[in-house]
Amino acid sequence: MCSVLPQVIRAEKNSLNNRFLPYSEIDTEAVLSVDDDAHLRHDEIVFGFRVWRDERDRVVGFPGRYHAWDLNYGGWLYNSNYSCELSMVLTGAAFFHKYYASIYSHVMPQAIRDKVDEYMNCEDIAMNFLVSHITRKPPVKVTSRWTFRCPGCPVSLSEDDSHFTERHSCINFFTQVYGYNPLLNTQYRVDSVLFKTRLPHDKQKCFKFI
């Protein structure tokens, strides 16, 4: 069994864009991006990586989210409610190819990274926009997890009252920058055949058993 010592890199500035810097220390094709308050089991990580090996051009991860058009007022909305469909996989627990780190940091329009810094938010939405724009494919969600619970963790950025308002704004701003909205909806999800999860009664609109 081989072991690798973790390396701690101190960034030059406090920015969520640092999550996607193409550090030279990364010598693997796969990058596992994980928030410090995300709880993932070892078997979930292994399963997610195995799925990513077959879908290397996509974001492959656990928490799914989707966007929807506001029929009342117009514009795009960000939605985190449990749904059959998704168009984004949050990079708080996801695999992506290191190639996208270079594209995000050096090719993606600077205006998008500036918006991420302005809000201290939306870097995950920006990465989903980028990958869907390049591949014209939706992300891949693995397992039935929709969110992560961390009872002992301090309040995160996502608990702020302005969090969702900013994410609505980000989707609309990124759409303006790209000239269209590249996010694609999907109901595709990958689960291990070793598990058969019984879904709660109110979540059976997609599948009864998984």
pLDDT digits (tens, 9 = 90+) for 174-194: 999 999 999 999 999 998 876
Q: What is the pLDDT of residue 34?
A: 94
Q: 183: domain range?
A: 16-203
Average per-residue pLDDT for the chain: 88
Q: What is the pLDDT of residue 70?
A: 94
Structure tokens at 143: 């397992």
pLDDT greater than 50 at residue 79? yes
pTM reported for the whole predicted model: 0.87
Q: Does a structural domain hold residue 209?
A: no
Q: What proportion of the chain, given as a percentage, has pLDDT over 90?
A: 67
Q: For the chain, what is the radius of gyration of the CA atoms?
A: 17
85 domain residue, yes or no = yes
Average pLDDT over residues 60-79: 94
Active-site residue, from 43, 124, 191, 202: 124
Q: Provide the strand spans (E) within the chain.
A: 30-34, 60-61, 64-69, 76-79, 88-89, 93-97, 140-142, 189-190
Q: How confident is the model at residue 200 (pLDDT cuts 50, 70, 90)?
A: low
Q: Which two tokens stand for residue 27?
A: 């010598």
Q: Is residue 198 part of a domain?
A: yes
Residue 209: per-residue pLDDT: 47
Q: Is 104 part of any domain?
A: yes
Domain-located, residue 132: yes
201: left (phi over 0), alpha (psi -120 to 50) or beta: alpha
Residue 8 placed within a domain: no
Question: Which residue, among 36, 37, 94, 35, has the nearest Cα to 63 in the 3D structure?
Answer: 94
> Strand, coil or helix: what is 16?
helix
**Average pLDDT value for residue range 82-87:** 87
What CATH number does residue 84 fall under?
A: 3.90.550.10
Residues 162-184 have a mean pLDDT of 97
Most confidently modeled of 37-51, 67-81, 101-115, 193-207?
101-115
Candidate from 121-125, 193-197, 204-208 with smallest mean pLDDT: 204-208
Q: How many domains does the chain have?
A: 1
In a domain, 163, yes or no: yes
Decide which of 49 and 209 is more confident.
Answer: 49
54 part of the active site: no
Give the contacts of 80 (CB within 8 A, at least 6 positions apart).
Answer: 65, 147, 164
Residue of 167 and 194 predicted with greater confidence:
167
Kindly tell me if the per-residue pLDDT of 7 is higher than 70.
Answer: yes
146 or 188, higher pLDDT: 188
